[in-house]
Homo-oligomer: A and B are copies of this chain.
């Protein structure tokens, strides 16, 4: 394809003039501009993105970084993604999704600086190496979810208040008279599961209800949400018949619980209340019964993260910022007062 030199030659000007015409960083007379653009059109010339990036030291691309290897985007990720893309599109940024495993990236022939101006990190885990990595490389960074430990105060992040969310749903169920509440939490290691778990325990503690570790189960990352919800709730229902409420990490997980309950002849919400951390409105409302849940506003999270990051990239301002996105509990019909029998069980 044609290069800037070809255009310069054809238009009878120097390459720096052509450069100025396209970058618009220096004024070029109307007449010459026309001539250059005409030559470019004739040669079907477009500036080379990478040559530009090399000289400009900026790409107008931000990265979206999945945690482990071969992780699939969930419904929640989809919301995040839509939010991020919406912000990108209005700010003129592209989004690079990096799903390459660390082992791959660390092989000598693939070793390279990430080709982005900044990175959004999804699903931070305890002691997340990705964060230290970005900090060392001085790459602008925004985490979606709370970074663990020392990093919490060192990097910008966007999150819901998950401790509060965990507390809120637990308190809500406690208020309905439930005492034995099973929590199907996100995978162990994720800070989101730690936070929600903490909120859950705090609410129990405050209500004087003893915490039973058997009622706090972490998702197996190798299982789908619905399979996990089904398998674990089925087992738990059989083993602990005094459970009257279940909190699930996602709406799909709740679907698994619905299935297990149906098979066991347990009525929702009559015998069992179910509440989910959720981002799906359309389907949740159509389940039987409609699923009560806490809306997380993933799109808002994504948009806000992208905004913070792009702001950092544009302004060069590395100050650490934090955004907590408000959530909203939506009562739909899967929670009810605890059955009297169960309340006396313990």
Within 8 Å by CB of A69, from B89, B94, B96, B136, lies B89
Assuming the contacts A109-B24, A258-B286, asked whether A78 and B73 have C-beta atoms less than 8 A apart, the reply is: yes
CB-contacts of A263-289 with B (<8 A): 280, 282-283, 286-288
Assuming the contacts A73-B85, A94-B98, asked whether A111 and B54 have C-beta atoms less than 8 A apart, the reply is: no
By a CB distance below 8 angstroms, the chain B residues around A90 are: 70
Assuming the contacts A113-B1, A115-B49, asked whether A88 and B78 have C-beta atoms less than 8 A apart, the reply is: no
Tell me, in angstroms, the Cα distance from A304 to B264 when the chains sit together. 41
CB-contacts of A88-119 with B (<8 A): 88-90, 92, 94-101, 104, 108-115
**How many of chain A's residues have a CB under 8 angstroms from any CB in B?**
64
By a CB distance below 8 angstroms, the chain B residues around A61 are: 96, 115
By a CB distance below 8 angstroms, the chain B residues around A111 are: 22, 46-47
Check B255 against A112 for contact (C-beta < 8 Å): no
Check B110 against A86 for contact (C-beta < 8 Å): no
Check A50 against B46 for contact (C-beta < 8 Å): no
CB-contacts of A28-50 with B (<8 A): 37, 44, 46-50
A138 within 8 Å of B (CB atoms): yes
A321 within 8 Å of B (CB atoms): no
Assuming the contacts A226-B282, A283-B255, asked whether A85 and B97 have C-beta atoms less than 8 A apart, the reply is: yes
Tell me, in angstroms, the Cα distance from A22 to B188 when the chains sit together. 37
Tell me, in angstroms, the Cα distance from A48 to B86 when the chains sit together. 29
Within 8 Å by CB of A48, from B54, B138, B280, lies B54
Within 8 Å by CB of A50, from B54, B136, B280, lies B54
Check B286 against A108 for contact (C-beta < 8 Å): no
Tell me, in angstroms, the Cα distance from A51 to B22 when the chains sit together. 21
CB distance from A41 to the nearest CB of B (A): 11
Check B49 against A114 for contact (C-beta < 8 Å): yes
| Closest CB pairs A-B (n = 5) | A49-B115, A283-B283, A89-B99, A50-B53, A95-B97
Given A51-B54, A85-B99, 10 new contacts (CB under 8 A)? A46-B113, A47-B112, A49-B112, A72-B86, A78-B78, A94-B97, A97-B97, A252-B282, A258-B286, A283-B287
